[in-house]
């Protein structure tokens, strides 16, 4: 249902809201709302353009907002009506938050959260497609986790798709998270080494900050304690094109009068978004789960990599896109999720997310970007899947990092669009 429209910066922006079932199997009266923002260039207002729906990375992040007429949205809107989907639980869709889950016990909360994986995100997209354009096909662009959603779409609803574009998001077909994180930790170690090679002073500054945290109780502006382990989580940024420089310049001005400054602590808090994205914390590992439990895979596998020991006096290595059970204690805003998160970590009857048989028979044209040095989505797993999927064209590059769609969107989409005529 259209709820708003306006013109801004060369774009016509149309806001839509759809009521969908929480559980499509029951199609009960328990409904949630899904928000999608449509972007049309003003010069194409009366032109018939095909639709392209965007699946954001994450899980748990809303679609980007069209603040400026630039980047990948500008490029995509030259050929499509672009739909920016706030996936269920995010943005202006029915949110997952302290407020929305208030009053639920751990079991009910865990059961509610099980409906926020890729399978139901795609079902929401199908509901929108049918209500917006009927039986017509549309195209998909999936970034990172959004590529997981696109692969699910290809597995179960290929007849709805015209073209599919995936950037840094070809998922492991059926690998266990234990093996995925073994691979991920190795890549994070290499990113740490590269970080200290490019910014030698960062090694000393990071260790100095860590030593201070070991010897002193330090609290962030929101009241959470900044432990070394939480400080190490800043390594999530090492896989972005600007991430290493961001951390280097953050560390170099951490101290004032031999104490960690308020500005430093405020910046640390602003960089970390775990407390404002509960879906990411409790469902990130579940993104890989298919008929098995994850049992805090990243936390268990961490013991195999002594490089990440917090009190290593030689140098501090930062962790990456990993979630740990201690976060449900140290992040005050996540404590209400602790019981539900444990239930989800132990859950083993997750449905399958992909169909190997359907992907082998795929007829939908696909163009996918694979970033050779991607810290978050393993290159080898991506190529393994590409070798299974029919009708796919791979653009592999060492020139970009995982966030290339955001940092170099026009170049990325130019490279993909040319692969599908």
Greatest alpha-carbon span in the chain:
66
Q: Helix, strand, coil proportions of the chain in percent (round to 5)?
A: 45, 15, 40
Q: Which two tokens stand for residue 73?
A: 């949205």
106 and 244 together in one domain: no
Selection from 134, 138, 147, 166 nearest residue 81 by Cα: 138
Instruction: Classify 89 in phi/psi space as left (phi over 0), alpha (psi -120 to 50) or beta.
Output: left
Contacting residues for 296 by C-beta, under 8 A, at least 6 apart: 285, 323, 324, 325, 345
327 and 310 together in one domain: yes
356-374 burial: b if 16+ Cβ within 10 Å, else e:
eeebeebebbbbbbbbebb
287 and 362 together in one domain: no
Is the CB of residue 345 less than 8 Å from the CB of residue 294? yes
Secondary structure E strands in 168-284: 255-256, 259-260
Find where tokens 């672009």 sit: 82
301 and 326 together in one domain: yes
Out of 346, 373, 398, a domain closes at 346
Distance CA 291, CA 301 (A): 20
Out of 283, 316, 346, a domain closes at 346
pLDDT on residue 312 = 80
- Domain holding 292, by residue range, is 177-346
- Digits of tens for pLDDT over the chain (421 positions)? 778 999 999 999 999 999 999 999 886 778 999 999 999 999 998 899 999 999 999 999 999 999 988 899 999 999 999 999 999 999 999 999 888 888 899 999 999 999 999 999 999 999 999 999 999 999 999 999 999 999 999 999 999 999 999 999 999 999 999 999 999 999 999 999 999 999 999 999 999 999 999 999 999 999 999 999 999 999 999 999 999 999 999 999 999 999 999 999 999 999 998 888 999 999 999 999 999 999 999 999 999 999 999 988 778 999 999 999 999 999 999 999 999 999 999 999 999 999 999 999 999 999 999 999 999 999 999 999 999 999 999 999 999 999 999 999 999 999 999 999 7
Task: Report helix, strand or coil for 217.
Answer: coil
Task: Report helix, strand or coil for 283.
Answer: helix
233 and 377 together in one domain: no
Distance CA 254, CA 268 (A): 10
pLDDT on residue 248 = 98
363 and 413 together in one domain: yes
Is the CB of residue 406 less than 8 Å from the CB of residue 417? no
162 and 231 together in one domain: no
338 and 384 together in one domain: no
Distance of CA 401 to the CA centre of its chain: 14
DSSP single-letter state for residue 211: H
Task: Report helix, strand or coil for 41.
Answer: strand
Task: Report helix, strand or coil for 266.
Answer: helix
Q: How many domains does the chain have?
A: 2
Contacting residues for 242 by C-beta, under 8 A, at least 6 apart: 407
Task: Report helix, strand or coil for 367.
Answer: strand
Q: Which residues pair with 12 in a beta bridge?
A: 7, 40
Distance CA 279, CA 237 (A): 19
Distance, first Cα to last Cα, the chain: 32
341 and 363 together in one domain: no
Out of 324, 346, 368, a domain closes at 346
Distances, alpha carbon 403 to alpha carbons 143, 144, 157, 169, 240, in Å: 9, 9, 27, 11, 6
Contacting residues for 102 by C-beta, under 8 A, at least 6 apart: none
81 and 165 together in one domain: yes
DSSP single-letter state for residue 289: -
Is the CB of residue 62 less than 8 Å from the CB of residue 90? yes
153 and 250 together in one domain: no
Query: Which long-range contacts (C-beta less than 8 Å, at least 24 apart) are formed by 175-179?
Result: 175/288, 175/381, 176/288, 176/292, 176/297, 177/285, 177/288, 177/289, 177/294, 177/297, 177/298, 178/297, 178/300, 178/301
194 and 63 together in one domain: no
Instruction: Say what the pTM is.
Output: 0.96
């Amino acid at each position: 249902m259209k709820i708003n429209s306006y013109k801004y910066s060369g774009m016509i922006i149309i806001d839509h809201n759809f009521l969908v079932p929480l559980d499509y199997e029951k199609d009960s009266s328990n409904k949630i709302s899904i928000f999608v923002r449509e972007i049309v260039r003003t010069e194409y207002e009366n032109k018939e353009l095909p639709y392209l729906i965007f699946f954001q990375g994450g899980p748990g992040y809303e679609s980007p907002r069209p603040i400026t007429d630039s980047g990948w949205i500008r490029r995509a809107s030259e050929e499509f009506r672009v739909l920016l989907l706030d996936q269920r639980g995010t943005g202006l869709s029915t949110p997952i938050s302290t407020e929305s889950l208030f009053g639920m016990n751990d079991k009910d909360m865990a059961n509610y959260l099980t409906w926020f994986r890729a399978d139901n995100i795609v079902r929401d997209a199908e509901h929108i497609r049918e209500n917006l354009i009927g039986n017509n096909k549309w195209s998909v662009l999936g970034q990172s986790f959004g590529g997981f959603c696109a692969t699910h779409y290809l597995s179960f609803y290929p007849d709805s798709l015209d073209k599919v574009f995936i950037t840094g998001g070809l998922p492991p077909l059926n690998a266990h998270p234990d093996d995925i994180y073994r691979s991920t930790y190795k890549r994070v170690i290499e990113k740490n080494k590269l970080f200290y090679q490019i910014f030698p002073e960062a090694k000393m500054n990071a260790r100095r900050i860590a030593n201070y945290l070991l010897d002193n109780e330090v609290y962030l502006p929101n009241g959470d304690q900044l432990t070394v382990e939480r400080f190490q989580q800043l390594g999530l940024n090492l896989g972005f094109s600007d991430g290493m420089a961001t951390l280097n310049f953050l560390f170099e001005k951490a101290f004032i009068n031999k104490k960690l400054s308020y500005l430093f602590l405020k910046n640390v808090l602003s960089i970390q978004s775990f407390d404002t994205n509960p879906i990411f914390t409790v469902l990130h590992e579940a993104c890989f789960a298919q008929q098995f439990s994850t049992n805090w895979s990243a936390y268990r596998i961490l013991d195999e990599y002594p490089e990440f020991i917090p009190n290593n006096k030689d140098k501090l290595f930062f962790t990456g896109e990993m979630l740990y059970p201690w976060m449900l204690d140290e992040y005050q805003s996540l404590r209400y999720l602790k019981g539900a998160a444990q239930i989800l970590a132990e859950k083993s009857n997750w449905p399958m997310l992909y169909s190997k048989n359907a992907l082998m028979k795929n007829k939908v044209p696909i163009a996918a970007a694979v970033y050779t040095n991607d810290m978050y989505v393993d290159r080898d797993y991506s190529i393994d899947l590409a070798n299974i999927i029919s009708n796919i064209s791979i653009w592999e590059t060492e020139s970009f990092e995982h966030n290339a769609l955001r940092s170099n969107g026009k170049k990325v989409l130019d490279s993909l669009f040319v692969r599908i005529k």
